[in-house]
């Protein structure tokens, strides 16, 4: 474990793996974590199966500072994430009074508070509730595991509360530099630049230029602003040395 907090994301749902639903939550989480100075190091998409969820939660919570899940905490029979997380952490789970009160305030405390809706009040013992300002049904934090809804609008709203529950690290800075040359031309020179600046992460991403043909966008990232500036200068010098310009083709 480094001084920089780390995280993993588990996207839970057969609908994601079947292609019927597109995962938008990982990108939203990555953006929030980046702003908090936390490295999102791994993401997994798994089925709505208890054993799969238990295995993924236990593997990742031992490896990273935080683990986030999305999906499977609704009112239907296949919403089994809360129970699986409780099993993974060997913690009893039941309908909790504070979670029930939240649902009763939204749906009423009579016949409208159905058994299906009460499934959303199942919370493991010792967990901390996560606010859901959109639909009411709370998520929860148990240890270093955060269990959130799968609906993108709800997931994003829950992150507002999560942001206040996590530690922060040094922020990652980045620069994007357009380059007119394809990766086949840049391979050697860019490798040399990366080796000369080990505290900066440097990647190249192919793009079609407006004028036609392939170029790349070079992205440099570092928590050390001075190191990033030195690497940025070296990248510009590399492009100039190849006879191009970082603004060519733009």
Distances from the Cα of 95 to the Cα of 29, 46, 121, 136, 148, angstroms: 28, 26, 5, 15, 17
Q: What is the pLDDT of residue 249?
A: 47
User: Minimal CA–CA distance to 217: which of 197, 235, 229, 233?
Assistant: 235
CA nearest to 57, candidates 81, 78, 80: 81
Q: What pTM did the predictor assign? A: 0.86
List the chain pLDDT tens, one digit each, 250 residues: 457 899 999 999 999 999 999 999 999 999 999 999 999 999 999 999 999 999 999 999 999 999 999 999 999 888 999 999 999 999 999 999 999 999 999 888 878 889 999 999 999 999 999 999 998 999 999 999 999 999 999 999 999 999 999 999 998 999 999 999 999 999 899 999 999 999 999 999 999 888 888 899 999 999 999 999 999 999 999 999 998 666 554 4
Which domains can be identified in the chain, with CATH numbers? 6-162 (3.40.980.10), 173-241 (3.30.1370.10)
What confidence score (pLDDT) does residue 2 get? 53
Q: How far is CA 117 from CA 72, 74, 103, 114, in A?
A: 13, 8, 8, 5
Sheet arrangement for strand 145-148: 39-46, 6-12, 66-70, 145-148, 139-142, 128-130
List the beta bridge partners of residue 129: 140
């Amino acid at each position: 474990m480094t001084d920089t907090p780390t995280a993993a994301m588990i996207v839970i749902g057969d609908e994601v793996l079947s292609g019927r639903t597109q995962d938008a939550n990982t990108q939203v989480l990555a953006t929030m974590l980046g702003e908090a100075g936390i490295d999102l190091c791994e993401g997994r998409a798994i089925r709505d199966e208890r054993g799969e969820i238990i295995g993924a939660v236990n593997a990742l919570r031992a490896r990273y500072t935080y683990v986030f899940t999305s999906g499977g905490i609704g009112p239907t029979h296949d919403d089994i994430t809360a129970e699986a997380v409780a099993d993974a952490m060997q913690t009893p789970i039941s309908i909790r009074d504070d979670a029930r009160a939240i649902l009763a305030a939204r749906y009423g405390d009579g016949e409208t508070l159905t058994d299906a809706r009460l499934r959303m009040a199942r919370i493991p013992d010792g967990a901390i509730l996560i606010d859901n300002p959109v639909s009411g049904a709370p998520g929860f934090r148990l240890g270093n595991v955060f269990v959130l809804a799968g609906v993108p609008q709800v997931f994003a709203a829950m992150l507002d509360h999560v942001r206040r529950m996590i530690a922060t690290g040094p922020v990652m800075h980045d620069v994007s530099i357009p380059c007119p040359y394809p990766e086949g031309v840049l391979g050697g020179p860019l490798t040399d630049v990366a080796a000369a600046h080990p505290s900066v992460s440097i990647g190249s991403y192919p793009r079609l230029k407006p004028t036609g043909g392939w170029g790349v966008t070079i992205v440099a990232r570092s928590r050390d602003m001075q190191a990033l500036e030195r690497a940025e200068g070296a990248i510009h010098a590399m492009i100039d040395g190849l006879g191009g310009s970082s603004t060519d083709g733009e």
